[in-house]
Structure 1
Amino acid sequence: MVSDRLATLKLPMQFEVNDDLLSRIQNYTILGRNETEAMLGRSALYHAIFDAQLQKEGLPEILRYLPVIESGMNAGVSSSAGAAGLWQLMPHTARNYGLTVNPLLDERMDVYKSTLAAVKMLSALYDQFGDWGLVLIAYNSGPSKVLSAVKLAGSKEYSKLSKYLPRETQVYVPAFVAAAYVSKFYAQHNLIPKSPVMAKEGFRSVRVHQQMSFEQIAKATQLSVGAISKLNPSFKQHQIPRSELGHLIILPAEGIGQLRKIMAKEVENQKDLFQTTYVISKDETLESIANLFKVKVEDLKKWNTLQNNELVINQELQLFLSKKSLINKV
Structure 2
Amino acid sequence: MRVLWLLVLAGAMLVGLAAEGLAAPAAKSATPAAPPAAAQTAASPAATPAAPPQYLVPRVPKQLTLCGAAVPLELPLVAEQLDRELVISVHDPARVIMWLKRAGRYFPYISQRLKEAGLPQDLKYLAVAESSLIHYIRSVAGAVGPWQFMAATGRRYGLRVDHWFDDRRSLPKSTQAALAYLKDLQKEFGSWPLAMAAYNCGEKRVRQELKEQAVKDYFNLALPNETQRYVYRILAVKIILSDPKRFGFDMPPDSLWRPLPSEKASLELKRPLHLTVLAQAAGTTFRGLKELNPELRERHLPRGKHQIMVPPGQAAGLAARLGKAGPGPRPAGEVYVVQRGDNLSGIALRHGISLKDLRQANRLSRDRLLQPGERLIIPEK
Common fold by TM > 0.5: yes
**Aligned equivalent of 1:264:** 317
Contact 1:6 1:181 in 2 (8 A): no
Q: How does 1:136-285 map to 2 (within 5 A)?
A: 136-161=196-221, 163=222, 165-188=223-246, 189-192=248-251, 202-210=259-267, 213-216=274-277, 219=280, 225-226=286-287, 228-240=289-301, 244=305, 246-248=307-309, 255-257=311-313, 259-260=314-315, 264-267=317-320, 270=323
How far, CA to CA, are the matches of 1:246 and 1:2 in structure 2?
47
Q: Give the superposition deviation at 1:2.
A: 4.3
Structure 1: tracts of 5 or more residues without a match: 250-254, 272-295, 318-330
Q: 1:187 to 1:231 in 2, by over 3 A?
A: farther
Residue identity in the other structure for 1:49: Y
Q: 1:225 to 1:154 in 2, by over 3 A?
A: same
Residue identity in the other structure for 1:256: P
Residue identity in the other structure for 1:208: A
Contact 2:67 2:121 in 1 (8 A): no
Aligned residues: 276
1:84 paired to 2:144 = yes
How far, CA to CA, are the matches of 2:334 and 2:80 in structure 1?
58
Q: 1:134 to 1:5 in 2, by over 3 A?
A: same
Q: Deviations over 1:129-148 (max 9, x none)?
A: 11111111111111111111
Bigger Rg over Cα = 2
Residue identity in the other structure for 1:176: I
Q: 1:56 to 1:167 in 2, by over 3 A?
A: same
How far, CA to CA, are the matches of 1:23 and 1:182 in structure 2?
13
Q: Give the superposition deviation at 1:59.
A: 1.2
Contact 1:50 1:64 in 2 (8 A): yes
Structure (1 or 2) with the greater helix fraction: 1
Moved more, 48-57 or 110-119: 48-57
- Of structures 1 and 2, the one scoring higher in RCO (CA 8 A, sep 6+) is 1
Q: Give the superposition deviation at 1:151.
A: 1.0
Contact 1:9 1:181 in 2 (8 A): no
Structure 1 length normalisation: TM-score?
0.70
Q: Give the superposition deviation at 1:22.
A: 2.8
Residue identity in the other structure for 1:246: Q
**Aligned equivalent of 2:169:** 109
Contact 1:209 1:246 in 2 (8 A): yes
Structure 2: tracts of 5 or more residues without a match: 1-57, 336-346, 353-381
**Aligned equivalent of 1:307:** 331
Structure 2 length normalisation: TM-score?
0.62
Identify the match of residue 64 of structure 1 among 113, 116, 124. 124
**Aligned equivalent of 2:3:** none
Q: 1:22 to 1:307 in 2, by over 3 A?
A: farther
How far, CA to CA, are the matches of 1:13 and 1:248 in structure 2?
40
Contact 1:42 1:196 in 2 (8 A): no
Contact 1:84 1:90 in 2 (8 A): yes
How far, CA to CA, are the matches of 1:91 and 1:156 in structure 2?
30
Q: 1:57 to 1:98 in 2, by over 3 A?
A: same
Q: 1:28 to 1:160 in 2, by over 3 A?
A: closer
Q: 1:112 to 1:15 in 2, by over 3 A?
A: farther
1:38 paired to 2:91 = no
1:131 paired to 2:196 = no
Q: Give the superposition deviation at 1:39.
A: 2.5
Cα RMSD for the two superposed structures: 3.6
Contact 1:108 1:114 in 2 (8 A): yes
Q: 1:32 to 1:11 in 2, by over 3 A?
A: farther
How far, CA to CA, are the matches of 2:266 and 2:232 in structure 1?
42
- Provide the identity percentage: 27
Q: Deviations over 1:226-267 (max 9, x none)?
A: 454345321111445576562346xxxxx523x34xx51533
Contact 1:57 1:123 in 2 (8 A): no
Contact 2:281 2:322 in 1 (8 A): no
**Aligned equivalent of 1:21:** 82
Q: 1:44 to 1:65 in 2, by over 3 A?
A: same
Q: 1:46 to 1:106 in 2, by over 3 A?
A: same
How far, CA to CA, are the matches of 1:153 and 1:99 in structure 2?
35
